[in-house]
Amino acid sequence: MKKLGMVVSHKFMTSNEIFPERLLGGILIDAEDSGKAYYINPRNKRAYYLGRPGQALEVIKNLGLGISNKDIRKIDLGEIN
């Protein structure tokens, strides 16, 4: 999460009820609140706390938009260092 998410201030997290378009579908990490991670739902532009790995999976499964196998194969693979 920390490598793929965007680190933001606690003030930014708490001052936004609805998040900007550029953050939709992304993961934000609150740098000043123990690195808590939030998924920004593209449907309603709100943040959802991801919690522990099992909780994070449930949030993503319930809120994620999904993608077909055909479309996901169009995305180039990368490496995380």
pLDDT per residue, tens digit, the chain (81 aa), is: 667 789 999 999 999 999 999 999 899 999 999 999 999 999 999 999 999 999 999 998 899 778 899 999 999 988 887
CA dihedral over 56, 58, 62, 67, signed as positive or negative: positive
Strands 27-30, 36-40: pairing is: antiparallel
Helical H segments across 1-66, by residue range: 10-15, 53-63
pLDDT of 13 = 96
What are the phi and psi torsion angles at 65 (to 5°)? Answer: -80, -25
pLDDT of 1 = 67
